[in-house]
Amino acid sequence: MKNTNGHIKELGFINEKYKKSDIIEQIKLLRKKKNAVILAHFYQIPEIQDIADFVGDSLGLSQQAASTNADMIVFCGVHFMAETAKIISPEKKVILPDMKAGCSLADSCSASDFAKFKANYPDHIVVTYINSSAELKSLSDVICTSSNAVKIVNSIPLDKKIIFTPDKNLGAYVMQQTKRPMIFWDGSCEVHDVLKLENIIHLKIKHKDAKLIAHPECKAPILEIADFVGSTTALLNYTQTDKSKKYIVATETGILHQMKLNSPEKEFIIATNNETCSCNDCPYMKLNTIEKLYICMKYEKPEIVLDLKLIKEAKKPIMKMLQISAT
Ligand code: 13P
Ligand code: SF4
């Protein structure tokens, strides 16, 4: 049986023979030799975050992909993120440690189904969350991330009607913030959408001195009682500047690594549904490992390869987002 890199034997051999520190040294050597940049999302395992050149949210990672001088982008995140980097910088080689690192939210909206849905609303502007396929992006007017969604929607003239896809939770939050009516696609993230209000209330009762901070992919009742709502970068920044000492964090567990590094004196409690579940671990983000990262840099695969016409079409709404974000 092959793994997604096609080097299962070598992966097993590396796991058995080498210490993590040796593999990390090899990754550093490969990065230099190949003029590669390692971009990592906050939901990656701590070892990957620690070796990355840049760790960030979806917007920050897209901006890095647009500005890097590296020849090769090693994307430690999920497929739609690496695909977005390829669309932004098509002349660069973009690889990711595990091609199976998908996203339930991106998968919840196929471009063919969306094309039929969109045909019912011909006069609407399509705002698409970055957690989407290149094909869906190519059917969109503008892309947004969790950190700029409100700004993007506010940039749309008031007389235009809006479809927001694929995340109905983020869409509802943006609608509430902007007061712009919207039509939603019925998609959600399997990690954030399972978080239950009652469990979070229990945590709040148990930790009365803690503030609740939440990612906007969570359901509306959770966002309504949160002290702060924002993208992963915004949540991290909030914990650094806010005066509280304790936080209940309603998002994926990976973000705790940077929160603890940046504020070692503070306490962070992940908002799981029960104390034993690992429902806050994104199963796709966690497919990437240090060993797979090494193998992918050595063989320069799996590689994101996209049709040039698709790149051209998907790039327009992404560049529009980057342009609006920069203003
Ligand atoms: P951020 O852009 O806020 O990091 O979110 C990415 C994501 O996939 C959240 O589930
Ligand atoms: Fe997708 Fe949810 Fe994982 Fe983010 S946490 S990558 S939205 S499945």
Is 313 within the bounds of a domain? no
Pairing mode, if any, of strands 246-250 and 161-165?
unpaired
Range of the domain at 200: 195-270
Residue nearest to atom 9 of ligand 1 (CA): 217
| pLDDT tops 80 at residue 2 | no
Residue 13 has pLDDT above 90, yes or no: no
| One domain, residues 135 and 84 | no
Nearest Cα to 104, choosing from 172, 168, 188? 188
- How confident is the model at residue 1, as a pLDDT? 34
The β-bridge relationship of strands 124-129 and 161-165 is: parallel
| Helix 232-241, helix 255-262: angle, nearest 10 | 20
pLDDT tens for 298-310 read: 999 999 999 999 9
Six token digits for residue 182: 């919207």
Q: Closest Cα to residue 126, out of 316, 311, 308, 307? A: 316
Residue whose CA lies nearest to ligand 1 atom number 2 = 58
User: What does 260-306 look like in DSSP terms, one character per residue?
Assistant: HHH-TTSEEEE--SSTT--TTS-TTGGG--HHHHHHHHHHT-SB---
C-alpha to C-alpha distance for 167 and 218, rounded to whole angstroms: 10
CB 42 within 8 A of CB 216: no
CB 189 within 8 A of CB 217: yes
Q: Are residues 167 and 211 in the same domain?
A: no
> Residue 319: inside a domain, yes or no?
no
Residue 325 lies in a domain: no
Both 133 and 86 in one domain: the answer is: no
* Among candidate residues 126, 154, 189, the one where a domain is terminated: 189
Residues 160 and 235 in one domain: no
How far, in Å, from the CA of 92 to the mean position of ligand 1?
A: 23
In this structure, the answer to whether residues 247 and 296 fall within a common structural domain is no
Instruction: Check if 284 has its Cβ closer than 6 Å to any atom of ligand 2.
Output: yes
**Residue 151 and residue 167 share a domain:** yes
pLDDT tens, position by position, 86-145: 999 999 999 999 999 999 999 999 999 999 999 999 999 999 999 999 999 999 999 999
Domain match, 177 and 259 both: no
Q: What is the DSSP string of 202-231?
A: HHHHHTTTPEEEE-TTS-HHHHHH-SEE--
CA 58 to ligand 1 center in whole angstroms: 6
- Nearest residue (CA) to ligand 1, atom 4: 57
Q: What are phi and psi for residue 301, nearest 5 degrees?
A: -160, 160
CATH number reported for the structural domain that contains residue 134 in this entry: 3.40.50.10800
Closest CA to 156 of 132, 131, 127, 129: 127
The number of the ligand 1 atom at minimal distance from the alpha carbon of 192 is: 10
Considering the domain architecture, whether residues 66 and 84 belong to the same structural domain is answered as: yes
Whether 175 maps to a domain, the answer reads yes
Band (8; pLDDT cuts 50, 70, 90): low
Neighbours of 251 (CB within 10 A): 28
CA–CA separation, 217 vs 211, rounded Å? Answer: 18
Read off the tokens for 252: 């994926």
**DSSP conformational letter for 4:** T
State which ligand 2 atom lies nearest to the alpha carbon of 192. 2
Residue 317: inside a domain = no
Q: Given pLDDT bands bounded at 50, 70 and 90, which one contains residue 277?
A: confident
The pLDDT confidence band at residue 3, using thresholds 50, 70 and 90, is very low
Residues 97 and 135 grouped into a single domain: no
The Å distance, Cα 240 to ligand 1 centre, comes to 19
Q: Rounded to the nearest whole angstrom, what is the distance from the C-alpha of residue 9 to the centroid of ligand 1? A: 33
Q: Name the domain count of the chain.
A: 3
- Residue 315 covered by a domain: no
Q: Which residues contact 325 (CB under 8 A, 6 or more apart)?
A: 59, 63, 148, 151, 152
93 lies in some domain:
yes
| pLDDT value at residue 274 | 78
CB under 6 Å to ligand 1: residues? 42, 57-58, 131, 145-146, 189, 215, 217, 231-232
Ligand nearest to the CA of 193: 2
130 found inside a domain: yes
In a shared domain, residues 48 and 84: yes
Question: pTM of the entire structure?
Answer: 0.94
From 58, 100, 191, give the residue whose CB has the most ligand 2 atoms within 8 Å, as the site to mutate.
191
> Is 146 touching ligand 2 by the criterion CB < 6 Å?
no
Q: Within this chain, do residues 85 and 112 fall inside the same structural domain, yes or no?
A: no
Q: Return the closest-CA partner of residue 135 out of 164, 110, 117, 101.
A: 110
Confidence of residue 276 (pLDDT cuts 50, 70, 90): confident
Task: State the closest ligand 2 atom to the C-alpha of 41, by its place in the atom list counted from 1.
Answer: 6
Residue 267 has pLDDT above 50, yes or no: yes
Question: What length is written for the chain?
Answer: 327
Same domain, 88 and 170: no
Answer whether 85's CB lies under 8 Å from 62's CB.
Answer: yes
Residues 195, 199, 201, 203, CA torsion sign: negative
